[in-house]
Amino acid sequence: MFLPIINYNFVNSGKFTEMKKFLLLKAAAIFAVSIFLSPEAAGITESWIESNYTKREVMISMRDGVKLYTAIYEPVRQSPADPDGMDEERPIIMLRTPYSCSPYGEGFTKSLRQDMRFFAENRYIIVFQNVRGRYMSEGKYENIRPFNPHKTGRQTDEASDTYDTVEWLLENTCTNGNVGVTGVSYPGFYAIMAALSGHPAIKAVSPQAPVFDWYMGDDAHHNGVLMLLDTYSFGGSMYRDQDNPSVKSRGNAGKIRGDAYSFFLEKATMENITATFKDSLVFWHQIMEHPDYDAFWKERTPGRHLRDIMPAVLVVGGTFDTDDCYGALQTYGTIRSQSPDTPLHLVYGPWYHGGWHNTSYTHLGHVWFGEGLSEYFMKNIEYPFFRHYLEGKGDAPAPVTVFPSGGQSKREYRSWPPEHVSCTRLYLRQGDSLSFMRPDETESFSSYVSDPQKPVPHIGFPIGKRTREYMVEDQRFASARPDVLTFVTPPLEDTLKLEGPVSADIFFRTTGSDADIVVKLVDVYPADFEYDDEVSEKMNVDGYQMGGYQMLVRGDIFRARYRESYENPVPLKPDETVRIEFDMDDVAHWFLPGHRVMVQIQSTWFPIADRNPQKFVRNIYKAAEDDFRAEEMTVWHQKDRPSCIMLPVVE
């Protein structure tokens, strides 16, 4: 038995009388209780963590002999006289990551008093592990390493590495035998792998904004379109070979100099962009060789394997997540359809990537969401989920909890999308208008010239890197461009509540042989809108004119060559009308009375997405500079070609 400060062996050495021993043990017990006061009451500080937790670093062997660096933070054992009985064996919460587990050696991670705060407060064993090939772990790293359901013997994948780690932890920690695995973004992918490991001790996992499919969605591609700015910046470090074991990464092999828009536009071709890397990036080159949805991409999504999932699952996503909004929604939907007996939960709210762990989060860019949202999630949903399934205490959270932007409170449902959602068509109409009434004109269309040499920027000011705020950015800069079609409703008389999937159905024609279509759903604020002084001060808006703000609610891009199949691209026939249908990520947003709904359509979205040359080239990444051509685009909005956006309306 270990006591804080007091050397227990010395107390029991026979040098004390029984009375002195009793008094000393009692004092130690009182001291132990005092330092285990709730951090919520006493303030969870670095010194609190150091007093209440120990740290050990181990190298855990996998079945093939590769050893993975693992940092284990364990609660200090308390006196048996503790009236709260805090000496029982504790659950394990684990996070596996390709990112740093710093500090290595002495010191405690800040995560214990931030995103892991409630687990530390409740004395969980908290484990961080570098996946193989990253930082201090041995082995070779592989991006989105495929799951192998048929592995035998010494064959490994991320699921088996999780399984082997849990086996070691069960034998070498004072645990109650129940393990939870969590993670945001890439660690969310590893949480999915934990669910696929089949280890019976893993009772609960929480993939939060998980990487799910780097071709269909997430931050690498959207509907087959390369998300250039993210992939270049992220890939410059993650796609680089690592000199592991090492406490440091090799840094980023790519550097955007000056304004990102100008930087990429001046490079003209993907070949020239590739040449800017100061190192050979294997995965980047693999992207360049696999422009279509082939076996390379399909084997890297866990979607095909999410059947008969044993642990309970809590999926978390942000409606304004730049990186993996798609991953959260697809993970939830796939498990729900393929593994219906799995205890499944979803949380979806107006966060940026991982913002649900930022307790000071109140707004994104110029859009205010309110106070206390992330704290509420961590305290009332995330920790209770693990407490219920790992400790057998308390109630599980609702199956679905949604926090609509523009709404006044959370919404709880049995499933997502809500059962009572109505898929409602909002039609493009002549005169740059929108209507829920189908057009009756026999001929009505809008046209624009898309020039890839002068692409529409995704944001209205110069940037050196992708900002997370672009997900709600003011679109007034785009409305003013002649190569952006803008349609808008009259001011709304009642609240329009949108909760669920959004899709586009566009009748389209081009003079070229390929094209991209960008569709944006926008919330237009009233002309006299302004925040009150208190909110303005907290947001530090610096006098920004919010009257008439055009808030991006959802925007996405589709490459027309994939209208029939993502596996086999087909060129467009110049001047032939085609129907383009594609899904966008789900929304949870309320358009308030006095606001207007806007839809924008364009064919470039740069440099967040790469440019389509608008001439069909079999491997689009090999397009030459003279392949990029200006073409006329036409969008129809007439009786027999009723272009529309489909909205999920709820009461």
Give per-residue pLDDT as tens, 312-333: 999 999 999 999 999 999 999 9
Helix, strand, coil: what percent of the chain each, to 5?
A: 25, 25, 45
**C-alpha–C-alpha distance, residues 115 and 490, integer Å:** 43
Kindly give the interhelix angle for 325-338 and 186-196, rounded to the nearest 10 degrees: 10
- The model's confidence at residue 379, banded by pLDDT at 50, 70 and 90, is very high
Same domain, 546 and 626: yes
Express each pLDDT in 110-132 by its tens digit: 999 999 999 999 999 999 999 99
Phi, psi dihedrals of residue 22, rounded to the nearest 5°: -65, -45
Mean pLDDT across 139-162: 97
Phi, psi dihedrals of residue 642, rounded to the nearest 5°: -85, 85
Contacts of 260 by beta carbon, 8 Å cutoff, 6+ apart:
229, 462, 463, 464, 465, 466, 607
- The per-residue pLDDT for 651 is 87
Q: Which of 244, 62, 21 is nearest to 135 (CA)?
A: 244
Sign of CA dihedral 537, 459, 448, 515: negative
Mean pLDDT taken over the chain = 92
Q: Residue 627 domain-assigned?
A: yes
Strand-pairing partners, residue 479, are none
The maximal CA–CA distance of the chain, rounded, in angstroms, is: 102
- The per-residue pLDDT for 87 is 55
Same domain, 563 and 439: yes
Q: Residue 150 domain-assigned?
A: yes
Domain end position, chosen among 269, 298, 327: 298
Same domain, 157 and 124: yes
Same domain, 271 and 312: no
More confident residue, 79 or 442: 442
Look-up of token digits 């529409």: 456
Instruction: Please state, as a whole number, how many other Cβ atoms lie within 10 Å of the Cβ of residue 335.
Output: 22
**C-alpha–C-alpha distance, residues 281 and 269, integer Å:** 17
**Buried b or exposed e, range 218-247, using 16+ CB within 10 angstroms:** bbbbbbbbbbbbbbbbbbbbbbbebebbee
For residue 412, give the H/E element and its range.
Answer: strand 411-413
Express each pLDDT in 17-26 by its tens digit: 333 333 333 3
Which amino acid, 628?
Answer: F
Q: Residue 143 domain-assigned?
A: yes
pLDDT over 80 at 43, yes or no: no
Q: Which of 550, 553, 531, 551 is nearest to 542 (CA)?
A: 531
**C-alpha dihedral over 454, 455, 457, 463, to 10 degrees?**
-60
**C-alpha–C-alpha distance, residues 514 and 552, integer Å:** 26
Look-up of token digits 């086996």: 167
- The per-residue pLDDT for 3 is 25
Domain end position, chosen among 394, 413, 432: 413
**How far, in whole angstroms, is CA 639 from its chain's centroid?**
39
**Residue 645 DSSP SS3:** strand
**C-alpha–C-alpha distance, residues 293 and 568, integer Å:** 8
Same domain, 357 and 429: no
The tally of CA atoms less than 13 A away on the side-chain side of residue 51 is: 17
| pTM recorded for the entire structure | 0.92
Q: Please give the C-alpha separations between residue 622 and each of 61, 290, 603, 628, in angstroms, as whole numbers.
A: 43, 11, 20, 12
Same domain, 182 and 268: no
Contact between 321 and 328 under an 8 Å Cβ cutoff? The reply is: yes
Copy the structure tokens of residue 579: 């129907």
The DSSP secondary-structure symbol of 635 reads: E
Contact between 163 and 140 under an 8 Å Cβ cutoff? The reply is: no
- The model's confidence at residue 78, banded by pLDDT at 50, 70 and 90, is low
Same domain, 400 and 458: no
Share of the chain above pLDDT 70, in %: 92
The tally of CA atoms less than 13 A away on the side-chain side of residue 199 is: 29
Number of domains present in the structure of the chain: 4
Q: Residue 390 domain-assigned?
A: yes
The tally of CA atoms less than 13 A away on the side-chain side of residue 64 is: 16
Domain residues for 278? Answer: 224-298
Q: Which of 332, 328, 387 is nearest to 356 (CA)?
A: 328
Contact between 58 and 66 under an 8 Å Cβ cutoff? The reply is: no
Same domain, 193 and 73: yes
- The per-residue pLDDT for 203 is 98
Same domain, 559 and 572: yes
Tell me the CATH number at 274: 1.10.3020
Strand-pairing partners, residue 523, are 551, 597
DSSP letter string over 310-321? -SEEEEEEETT-
Same domain, 173 and 262: no
Q: Residue 218 domain-assigned?
A: no
Q: Residue 219 domain-assigned?
A: no
Q: Residue 6 domain-assigned?
A: yes
Same domain, 157 and 291: no
Same domain, 470 and 598: yes
Q: Residue 644 domain-assigned?
A: yes
Domain end position, chosen among 298, 320, 340: 298
- Burial status of residue 351 (CB atoms within 10 A of its CB: 0-12, 13-18, 19 or more): buried
Mean pLDDT across 195-206: 98
